Amino acid sequence: MVWGTKSFHFLTRKISTLVFSELKNQVAIANDTEIDDQPIEEETGTDLRHNYMVAKIKNSTIAIEITKVLEVIEGSDVTPLYKVADFIRGLISLRGQVLSCIDLSRYLGHELTVIDERNKFIVINVSGVDFALCIDRVLGIQSIQQSSFQDSTKVFQNEIPNYFPNFREKEGEVTLIFKPDLFLKSTELQEYKKN
C-alpha cells in the first residue's frame, strides 16, 4: 500500500493476529460440534434452523433470535427511574437514543442484577421498539433447530413461560428461548406504553 510517498507492507498473518487479539473476548460463533453440516435456515421437511444470540442471566442460559438483536453494549450508565416496576431498571442513552433498561432476573427466579459500570446489555428491536436487556455475559451465536424446542409450560411452574415459551435441552444444559414480542405485549408493560 502506498500512502503519500511512503510504502507500507501489511502481512496477512500479522493482521489476523492483531484482529484476533482485539476480538478474542467478544462474541464468538459456536464451535463445529454445536452446528451440524446443514446450512442455516435451510428447510429440512418442516424444521428450520435460526441463529440465536446466547447469553447468561445469573445461572440461566437464554437465547434471542439474532434478527431481533441490534448490538451488545457494555459499560453504559443507567439512569434510575422511580415509581416504576422493578424490572425497569432505568434508562440508557445510546448515541442520542434513550433505551429502557430491562432486567428479567426475577422472572428467572434470581435476584435483580446489581447495576454498575460492568453490566452488559443486549439491545433488542421488536416492531420498531428498542430496549436494552440486562445480561451477565454473552456466550456466542448458535444455530438452533426449531424442532429441538420444548414447551416451557410443561416443565416450569413459575413466570418463565410468560416470556420464555420454549426451551432447548442439549447435553444437560437448558437454554430458554426469549420472545421479546411477548414481553412487549405483557400486562406489566401496558401502563408504560405510549398512547
> Tens digits of per-residue pLDDT, 96-106?
899 999 999 98
Least confident of 12-21, 72-81, 159-168: 12-21
Q: Which helix (H) or strand (E) holds 190?
A: helix 187-190
pLDDT for position 72: 94
Domain 29-190 falls under CATH 3.40.640.10:
no
- The answer to whether 167 touches 150, Cβ cutoff 8 Å, is yes
Read off φ and ψ for residue 54, nearest 5 degrees: -110, 135
C-alpha cell at 143: 444455530
pLDDT for position 51: 94
Order of strands, sheet of 150-151, starting from the edge strand that comes earlier in the sequence:
137-145, 49-57, 60-65, 173-178, 166-170, 150-151
Cα distance between residue 103 and residue 116, in whole Å: 13
Count of CB atoms within 10 A of residue 139's CB?
17
Count of CB atoms within 10 A of residue 52's CB?
24
19's torsion region: left (phi>0), alpha (psi -120 to 50) or beta? alpha
Q: Which of 146, 171, 153, 145 is nearest to 61 (CA)?
A: 171
Residues of the chain with pLDDT > 70, as a percent, come to 74
Query: CA separation (Å) from 94 to 54, 72, 100?
Result: 22, 11, 11
pTM for the model: 0.73
Instruction: Kindly give, in sequence order, each residue whose CB lies less than 8 Å from that of residue 120, ignoring residues fewer than 6 positions away.
Output: 55, 72, 73, 74, 134, 135, 136, 137, 138
Cα distance between residue 134 and residue 121, in whole Å: 5
Least confident of 27-31, 125-129, 152-156, 168-172: 27-31
pLDDT for position 31: 43
Spell out the domain ranges in the chain.
29-190
